[in-house]
Amino acid sequence: MEAVGMLRDSSGRYMKPYAKAARPCADYVVWLLVALVAKRAINKMFRQIELH
């Protein structure tokens, strides 16, 4: 987040629309990673249940 702030300060007016557009994309990427990790954890749990 610090890098985004630095970019916004250095190029000011030009970076503002890009920063606004990039925030939802960043949120989407974070949700995607969380979903992948959760999926892997659930798969591991199911495998352990099947083994027992």
**Across residues 1-29, what is the average pLDDT?**
67
Q: Which of 2-6, 8-12, 20-24, 34-38 has maximum average pLDDT?
A: 34-38
Task: Tell me: pLDDT of 1 over 70.
Answer: no
Residue 35 has pLDDT above 70, yes or no: yes
The DSSP output letter for 3 is: H
- The residue type of 16 is K
More confident residue, 41 or 15: 41
Average pLDDT over residues 10-39: 79
Query: What residues contact residue 19 under an 8 Å CB cut-off, 6+ apart?
Result: 4, 7, 8
**For residue 47, is pLDDT > 80?**
yes
